[in-house]
Chains A and B, each alone.
Chain A
Amino acid sequence: MQSTWDVVVIGGGLAGLCAAIAARRGGASVRLLESAPPAFRGGNARHARNFRIVHDAPTPHVPDSYHASEFIDELDRVTAGERDPALAERLAGESETIAPWLMTNGVHLQDPAVGIVPYSRRTVFPLGGGKAMINALYATASDLGVTISADSEVGTLRQAADGCWRVSLAADSPGGSTLEARSVVVCAGGAGADPDWLRSHYGDTADGFMVRGTAYANGRVLTDLISAGARTVGDPTVCHMVAVDARGPRFDGGIATRITAIPHGIVVDGSGARIDATGAGAEPTHYARWGPRIAACVDQTAYLILDADGLQRAAPQAFPPIVGTTIADLAAALGLDPAALAHSTGAFNAALAAGARPIATAPFAAYPMRPGVTFVHYGVAVDQHMRVIWTDGRRNDNLFAAGMIMAANVIGRGYLAGLGLTLAAVFGRLAGEEAARHVVG
C-alpha cells in the first residue's frame, strides 16, 4: 500500500471523519487511521445523540431559532470563562453550516415531529443516533476515495527533516508500520479510557470508575504529543462523570446505563447512610454532580433507593431494578445493613422537603451505581487554524488537532448538551480543510 499521503488523519471518530472528508474534498490524498476494530469504530460519537447548532430560522430539522450570541453565553456560563473566546466564537459561528454539510455527506437528520425526541431549538438529532451518522460518514469517506484502515493504532508521530510527519503504527497494526504524511490531523480523542492513565491522575479509586464511551480513547496519541512538547489545556484531574448502573460494562455503556431516576428517590452509600450531592436537584445538570459524589464513596459505589411510586415516575433503565417487598428485604438483596437503610428512609420520610414524596409504597427498588466517566477536560492547545501549539508558542503549518483531543480549548469545565458532536464536526471539518490547503494549496 501507498506509504506517502497528503493528509493522514489519526482517529476515525466524528472529528476524524469530518477532517478526512473535508481534506479529500479539498483535493488531498487521505489515509484515515482508526485504532478500533470495525465493530467499535467511530469514537464516542457512537454514543452521541444530538448536536448544537446556531440557526436564525426554523428548518425541517430544528424549530424556532438559536443565535450565536446565545450559544456563546451558555458556553461562557457552564465553563465559567475557561475557554478560548475566539475559538468559542468560531465554533458557534461555524455550527450554523455544519448540519447541511453533514447532510451533503450522507447523514440523515430526524424530523422532530417523528418519534419522541424532546422539543429542542438548540440541537438537531441524527436519525438513528450517533452510530448511524458514523456509518453514513464512513460510507461517504470511502466513496470519496479516503483510504480507511481499522485496527490501526498510532504509536508515535515524529517530524522528519523535510517537514513531513512519520506516523508509526503500533506493532500489532496491519498495513505497514510507518506512513509518511505531508500533513497530519490528530483526532485521536481524549484520554480517560485507559485504566493506567486514569489511575495516574485519580489514584486507586479510578479502578472503580466506569468509562461511558469507547475503550479506544486511551489517550496514547495525546500523551505522545505532550511528550513531544505540545502545550496542554485543561486539567487531567477534572472530568465529566455521571451516575451509571454498576452492573453495566466497564467500557461503552453509553447512554443506556446512565441512571436518570435519582430525583425520584434517595441515594445511600455502602453503609446504608444517605448521601447527597451538593447542588444536585432535578434539573439535567444533576447528573454531573452525582458522578464525583459517587466516586468519593467507598468502593465508588452507591445505591439509589426508590419505592414503587418513585419507580413508576422514573424513566425505565437498561437493567431491571433490584427489588424487595420490604426495606429490609431490599437491604438484604443489596448486601446493605437493614437497620441503617431503614434509618435512612425513615429519616427521609420524617423530614420531607416541600414537594418530595416519601419512600413508602412496596415493593421497593434499587439501582447500584458507579461513577461513569464521559470525558476528561484535558487536551492539547490549538490556534484558530486548528494547528497544535507547542509549549514555546511555535506551531507547524502541517500538524492539526480536532475533536475531543482539543475540546478543553472551548470547554475547560462543565458541559452543554450536543456540544461534543458540534465541536468534533466543526473543528474536524476546519482542520481537514486547513490540512488539504497546506498540501494542495
Chain B
Amino acid sequence: MSSVDLPADELTAEAERVLRICTACMYCDGLCPVFPAIDNTHQFKLSDLNYLANLCHNCKGCWYACQYTPPHPFAVNLPATLAAVRQRSYRDYLWPRWLGRAFRSPAVGIAATVGFVVLATLAIVLMCTPPAALFGADDREGAFYRVVPWSIMAGAAGASLLWAMACIALATVRFWRDIAPDVPKRAMLRAVAPALRDIVTLRHLGGGGPGCNDVGERTSQQRRWAHHVMVAGFAGTVLSTATAAIYHHALGVAAPYPLTSLPVLLGLVGGVAMLAGIGGLLGLEFRADKEPSDPREVRLNVAFLVLLALVTLSGVAVLALRGTAAMGLLLTGHLGLVFGFFLVLPFSKAVHAPFRAAALLRAAAEKAAARPRGKPDRG
C-alpha cells in the first residue's frame, strides 16, 4: 500500500518508522537539509514531520541512494512518505479550514472551480456587454474596457487576488507558528540571508551538487532550470502588470498598448518563458519514475501547471489576436481564468512556496544557532 492511502495516524507512524531508519543511517546527509535536520532525533512530533515534509524538495536523491528501498524488507520510501505528509500539511494548515475538503481531491476542486468561474464570467459578459463591443474588431485605446469595464475588471481581479493572498498568508502563519524553532532572535536574523539564498536559487533542487533525480536514476538540473524559467517568466508578467498600471494611472494611457511598449514586451517575453518552464515541469511530471512520488502530489502539480499554462496561453492569445473580432471572447475567457486561478490559489500547489520558504528559514535558523561542529576523527 502506498503511503498516500494510509489513514492520518498510520501515515504519521509510517513517517516516524522511515525517519527512524534514516537517523540510524544518515548516508544521505549531504543530499539535502532534511537529513541534518533529523540528526540525533529520538522522537518526531507531528509539527516536526510537517516541517521535514516541507523542507523536502522532492528531489528523490535519497530514493536512488537508499539501500533500504523495496524490495528490501525495510521498504523505505522517504520521498513518497514525505510527499504524503506534505499534502496533508497543506490541508491541515489551510485557512479557512473548511476549504481543507477541497484538498481531498484538489485537481477536481481546481478544475470545477475554475470551470465554473470561467463560464460565469462569460455568461455575465455576454449578458451585459453590447454585442458590437464584444464581437467587433477594435484595437483602439480603451478597447479592453469596452468589453469589461475597468472598474469591474480591476475590482474582480483585485478581490480574488486579495482572497488568495489572505488565505495563503494566514495558512503560512499557522504553519510557521507550529514549526518555528526555539532559537535566539539573533540566530533567526542571521538565518534570513542564507534562507533567502536557498529559496531564490532553489539550491536543494541540486541534490547536494550533481542535481536531482528528476526522471530516474541519473541526476539532472532540468527541474531546477524549468522552475527558474517559469518563475522568471512569472516575474515578467507581474512587471508587465505593474508597468501597465503606471501607464494607466500615471501616464493616463489605457490598454491596449503598442507591441513595442514595456507592458506588452514584458508580458510577451514573460508569458513565453512561463510556458517554456511549465512545459519543462509538466514533461518531467510525466516522464518521472512514479514510485518515489505521491500520486496526489503529482495530480496537484499537474493541475496547477495546466491552469497556469491556460492563464498564460489565454493572455498571449489576447495579445496575438487583439486586432480581431475574437478579442472580446478571448479577453473574457482570460479574465475568467485569472479570477478562477486566484480563487483556487489557496488550495493549489501555490502554497508550497511559502511553506517551503518557512521550512528553509527554520533550517537556516537552526544551523545558525548550532555550535560549530568539532567532532573527533573516528578513523
Contacts and interface: CB of A to CB of B under 8 A. Distances in A.
Contact of B66 (A114, A118, A131, A311): A131
A118 B74 contact: no
Interface string B55-73: 0000001101111111111
B158 interface: no
Given A108-B209, A127-B210, A319-B20, A120 B71 contact: no
A318 B29 CA distance: 16
A129 B67 CA distance: 9
A256 B64 contact: no
Nearest to A45: B67
Given A120-B378, A128-B62, 4 more contacts: A108-B208, A121-B377, A255-B27, A418-B379
A118 B62 CA distance: 20
A122 B379 contact: yes
Contacts of B85: none
Given A116-B373, A254-B68, A139 B20 contact: no
Interface in A1-51: 39-40, 46-47, 49
B30 interface: yes
A316 B27 contact: no
B27 A320 contact: no
Given A256-B24, A316-B23, A118 B375 contact: yes
B30 A127 contact: yes
B62 A256 contact: no
B30 A284 contact: no
3 A-B pairs closest in CB distance: A129-B27, A115-B29, A128-B65
A90 B66 CA distance: 32
A255 B28 CA distance: 13
B376 A132 contact: no
Given A108-B209, A127-B210, A316-B20, A39 B71 contact: yes
B15 to A, nearest CB: 14
A284 B35 contact: no
Interface in B8-45: 20-21, 23-31, 35-36, 39-42
Contacts, number: 131
Contacts of B5: none
B42 A130 contact: no
B374 interface: yes
Contacts of B41: 316
A111 B373 contact: no
B25 A127 contact: no
A122 B24 CA distance: 22
A110 B208 contact: yes
A117 interface: yes
Nearest to A110: B30
A249 interface: yes
A375 to B, nearest CB: 16
Nearest to A46: B67
Given A118-B376, A256-B74, A139 B27 contact: no
B218 interface: yes
Nearest to B26: A116
Contact of A115 (B36, B42, B73, B74): B36
A7 B72 CA distance: 32
Contact of A114 (B30, B65, B379): B30
A116 B27 contact: no
A284 B31 CA distance: 26
B67 A128 contact: no
A432 to B, nearest CB: 23
Nearest to B208: A127
Nearest to A315: B40
A125 B208 CA distance: 13
30 contacts: A110-B208, A115-B35, A117-B29, A118-B376, A119-B373, A120-B377, A123-B379, A128-B27, A128-B30, A128-B64, A128-B65, A129-B25, A132-B27, A132-B65, A135-B64, A135-B65, A255-B25, A255-B27, A256-B24, A256-B74, A312-B42, A316-B40, A317-B20, A318-B20, A318-B21, A318-B24, A318-B25, A318-B74, A319-B20, A416-B379
B178 interface: no
B370 to A, nearest CB: 10
Contacts of B30: 110-111, 114-115, 117, 125, 127-128
A42 to B, nearest CB: 8
A417 interface: yes
A94 interface: no
